[in-house]
Amino acid sequence: MADAGGDTLDEIHVVVVGDPGVGKTSLIATVVADHFSEVVDRVMMPVSLPPELTFRDSTMWVHDTPGRLWEDRAQLRDELREAHVVVLCYATDEPTTFDLLAEHWLVQIENHPNKPPVLIVGLKADPTAAEGEEEAAGRADARREREEAFQLRMMPLLQSFRCVEAAMTCSARNLISSAHDCFFVATRLVTFPVAPLFDVRSETPTPALRRALRRVFRIFDRDFDGCLSPSELETFQEDVFGMPLTSDAVRSIVDTLRREDRRFVTRGGDITESGFVALCVRFIAADRAGTLWQVLSRFSYGRDLVLRIPDDAVTVARDARGGDDDAVCCLSDAGTRFLTDVFAQWSSGGLLSRSDLSDIFSVLPDVGGEAGDGGGGGGGG
């Protein structure tokens, strides 16, 4: 598993914080013992959760903290320094603990140099007897209303603090699986971070993600017409996910995108560049950031969305010289055809203007502004 810098993480460190009495130590103890206990230590020592509990290849270390840690800024900074993710807890039956999330905790976490992602967890979300009868009677609408009310309550925090990436409720007493879910979601914030992909405040994909997806789009636009045909979309599906895309699935995708914005699909049913970006961004809205990261990883993007040149590509270039420093590498016929096709697609009147060059290289990081001065790179690859 890779972190935001592309390095392998053998361990994930989760720091659990919250005001006194909100139930954070009980949450940890429930996951460790796999049952709820009324009596727990005031603060638990760091404990490790094996990979099979988190469905990851990494061991998770969970760090409990004192309830008034926010008062000791130096200690809080030390705790956050090694955190890959923070689980910030409040008690759903104590409204003041929610009101203090921003004042006590989020301001300090947001300003910490490490800037770990935050999962907010509302603990003690135990259903009342009346709520239990409602659900037993099949009144799912009551549960849905509670979920909508929870999301509305969280929205100001999601919009005010970039560090907050997810929120959920948990009842360690009545639903042990929900305690396990907390740490499963926490690991996902590390392995499949949302912040590099999506700006929660503006509810838009980040510029880095747009640039990366536009590059992927160009890789599969094999006929250089600025659109993805059904066959090109199928090639993308098989290349990234290793499975075919049925014609019915293609029609469904096209219909969905057309309903969302007519500019996403041509009259002939091909998907435009903006439509492809919108299609991929839908993974985030569907809580499937991992699927989008699969796409990005396939095309050499690290967790920080920095494009990395594969080592084997550099090795091939060196080997082609045969150890002769005076030797040069020449384009293959396929390489020449590719560049010729790129030129034909972007040129105006047989020439490439500075604007054309900027468009060609705009999918590569920190190159577009220099293209007119001789900066270079591949058009679609």
User: Is the same domain home to 130 and 175?
Assistant: yes
Strands 118-123 and 164-169 come out as: parallel
Answering whether pTM is above 0.75, one says: no
Asked, for residue 198, whether it belongs to a domain, the answer is: no
Q: What is the pLDDT of residue 376?
A: 36
- Residue where a domain stops, chosen among 191, 213, 231: 191
Q: Give me the percent of the chain exceeding a pLDDT of 90.
A: 43
86 near 54, Cβ under 8 Å? no
Q: What is the DSSP annotation of 25-76? A: HHHHHHHHHTS--S---SSPPPEEE-HHHHTSSSEEEEE---TTGGG-HHHH
64 pLDDT more than 60: yes
Of the segments 28-37, 122-131, 167-176, which one has the largest average pLDDT value? 28-37
User: Is the same domain home to 332 and 226?
Assistant: no
User: Is the same domain home to 97 and 225?
Assistant: no
Q: Over the stretch 192-231, which tens digit does the pLDDT of each residue have?
A: 888 899 987 788 999 999 999 999 999 999 888 999 999 9
User: Is the same domain home to 21 and 160?
Assistant: yes
Asked, for residue 1, whether it belongs to a domain, the answer is: no
User: Is the same domain home to 163 and 45?
Assistant: yes
Q: Over the stretch 337-355, which tens digit does the pLDDT of each residue have?
A: 777 877 777 777 778 888 8
| Mean pLDDT, residues 104-110 | 93
Q: Which residues contact 42 (CB under 8 A, 6 or more apart)?
A: 25, 66
329 pLDDT more than 60: yes
Asked, for residue 306, whether it belongs to a domain, the answer is: no
Q: What domain range includes position 280? A: 204-298
- pLDDT band of 126, cuts 50, 70, 90: low
Asked, for residue 305, whether it belongs to a domain, the answer is: no
Q: Give me the percent of the chain exceeding a pLDDT of 70.
A: 82
User: Is the same domain home to 219 and 159?
Assistant: no
Q: 82-96, 144-158, 167-181, 313-327 — which is least confidently predicted? A: 313-327
User: Is the same domain home to 242 and 162?
Assistant: no
Q: What is the pLDDT of residue 142?
A: 64
Q: What is the DSSP letter of 351?
A: B
More confident site: 364 or 248: 248
Asked, for residue 2, whether it belongs to a domain, the answer is: no
More confident site: 60 or 314: 60
Number of domains in the chain: 3
The CATH number that applies at residue 232 is: 1.10.238.10
Q: Over the stretch 255-288, which tens digit does the pLDDT of each residue have?
A: 999 999 999 999 999 999 999 999 999 998 887 8
Q: What is the pLDDT of residue 37?
A: 80
Asked, for residue 196, whether it belongs to a domain, the answer is: no
CA distance linking residue 271 with residue 285, whole number of Å: 20
